[in-house]
Amino acid sequence: MIKFECLPTGIGTLPDTEAEAACRRVFRHLKDVPFWPQLPRRTPLENMYLQYSEGFPGVVVENERIFVEPDAADFDSRLEALYKAYIDGASDDFAVSPERAAGLYAFLSHSHRELTPRAAKGQVIGPISWGLSATDRQGRVVLADETLADAVAKFLRLKAASQEKQLRTVARETVIFIDEPYLSTLGSATAAVVLAPDRVRDLIGEVLCGLEGITGIHCCGAAEWPLLLGLPVDIISFDAYNYAASLALYPAEVKAYLARGGTIAWGIVPNDEQVLYGESVASLADRLGEAIAPFTREGPSFRDILNQSLVTPCCGLAALSPEAAETALSVLAELSTRMRAKL
């Protein structure tokens, strides 16, 4: 059973355009479980969809849209190379480049000097979200093609495994979140393709089973929680500020997940600047308590749940000003200290 004891960490993005400044911001507030910052304002290539498109067979990026061209001249050879790397476990060949992840490489060099963290956290786009955002030239999403869908999962497994290996130079323990914003659209009228729950589990499971450290999945909307809570994942991360009520509809599933040793990452610090400045550490502590309360009825105690919790912003912080991002991380750290005092 993993016990994070309500430590704070981040989701991924920051508004900075300079990697060293972003890392200093992280290190200042999140010393136990720091995350490497994604910086989409530095370059569109750090948008997580583009960030993790690098190296996929037949991929072309145009005006920040991702296309996959199976009829490209080198598609078959690159697909073969992908499967060979998957079989051989050659994840280094698929590491995200410094051009697309300046924050990761600044984090790797900086942390050796300044931190001795309990765990180092990273993040990678999930196969559902990437596979539903990338299309062929006719507009058909990648996940509609079984061969391409399988390749996406194996590709992102290699991306995640290479990152885990890099982060292990910073801390013995690693945490990798699979970011899956598109999970909140599954089953809706706007869904680009119908995916059976078993298919979702298989694709996400393919990425997760390639990791040796702690795994997490982040969804920032009202997802199909029984599906997520049934995944073989150590941490469920969600927007508890806006969607706590949707998770509270499934107390039995949450209790079962916690009983298996799972951790909940409560995204309780808002990432809207106006809303953020209307809150305080005390008000957010009250809001977190209200989010946790439904699962303590005929179940684990409040203290037990805090032991199996992390606290985070509700999602990435790239939309904030740098000053507001600093405030968000400061409030997050103070909130963690306040909640940990209850332990």
164 near 124, Cβ under 8 Å?
no
Helix (H) or strand (E) holding 33: none
> Which CATH number is 7-46+96-132+164-340 given?
3.20.20.210
Which residues of the chain fall below pLDDT 70? Answer: 1, 111-114, 187-192
How far apart are the two ends of the chain, measured CA to CA in Å? 17
Query: Would you state the pLDDT for residue 92?
Result: 92
Query: Would you state the pLDDT for residue 164?
Result: 96
Provide the whole-model pTM.
Answer: 0.93
For the segment 64-105, what is each residue's pLDDT rounded down to a tens digit?
899 999 988 899 999 999 999 999 999 999 999 999 999 999
The neighbouring-strand residues paired with 68 are 59
Rounded distance between C-alpha atoms, residue 193 and residue 210, angstroms: 26
Tokens encoding 95: 């590491």
Query: Would you state the pLDDT for residue 337?
Result: 97
